Amino acid sequence: MYADRLPTVIRQILTDLFVVAWCYAWVRVGQWVHDTVLKLGVPGRKLEGAGAGIADNLADAGGKVGRVPLVGEELTTPFAKAADAARVIADAGRQQQEIVGDLALVLGIGMAAVPLILVLLIWLPKRLRWMRRAGVAAAVRDEPAGRDLLALRALASRPLSELTRLGPDIAQSWRNGDAAAVDALAALELKRLGLRPARR
């Protein structure tokens, strides 16, 4: 999972710790946004409670008035209509809470998901690609054929400025099968991956 050369392994560990902290921070931000938006539902809860309380009181009063002889039924009608209106208010408060709850969920998930998706699409593929390449390189670095492959990879991918530091005829030396040139090129490729040279 990590390189075996000190500067590279330190950089990898610090990067991995940063990514973990980044993910944790954005999950916490998402939770904070969710909880903050949910507070907008407090008026809806109060409205629902007040509407339900008024409806219950009016229905109770209507029931008591309805027991008045002769005119009780006529007096009950306004109380029943007022209780229905109060229930409409309570329903409006409940609907407002549902809307706020849905909005809080969407915003909370959105705040956390976007940075996490960036990690999954950018950092994780690079990290896995390095692990795959470094794993193959570490497996073949002690084999003669593996050193040749690593040397060829260095010749194909490293900048000319790095290759010429190994010597002006490094490519010709590699073609001639010079073991020192092959080892130097393989070591260059291993260094790029943060791995130590092959053991001799």
Give the per-residue pLDDT at 117: 94
Where do the structural domains in the chain lie, given as residue ranges?
A: 6-131, 141-200
In the predicted model, residues of the chain with pLDDT beneath 70 are 67-72, 198-200
Q: Report whether 7 contacts 196 (CB < 8 A).
A: no
| H helix intervals, 66-178 | 72-118, 124-140, 144-157, 160-165, 170-175
- pLDDT for the residue 199: 67
As a whole number of angstroms, the distance between CA 151 and CA 189 comes to: 7
pLDDT in tens, 6-35: 888 999 999 999 999 999 999 999 999 999
| pTM for the whole structure | 0.70
Q: What is the pLDDT of residues 116-140, one digit of tens each?
A: 999 999 999 999 999 998 888 888 8
Confidence at residue 109, expressed as pLDDT on a 0 to 100 scale: 93
**Would you state the pLDDT for residue 70?**
63
Per DSSP, the three-state class of 44 is helix
The pLDDT value given to residue 26: 94
CA separation for the pair 155, 170 (Å, rounded): 9
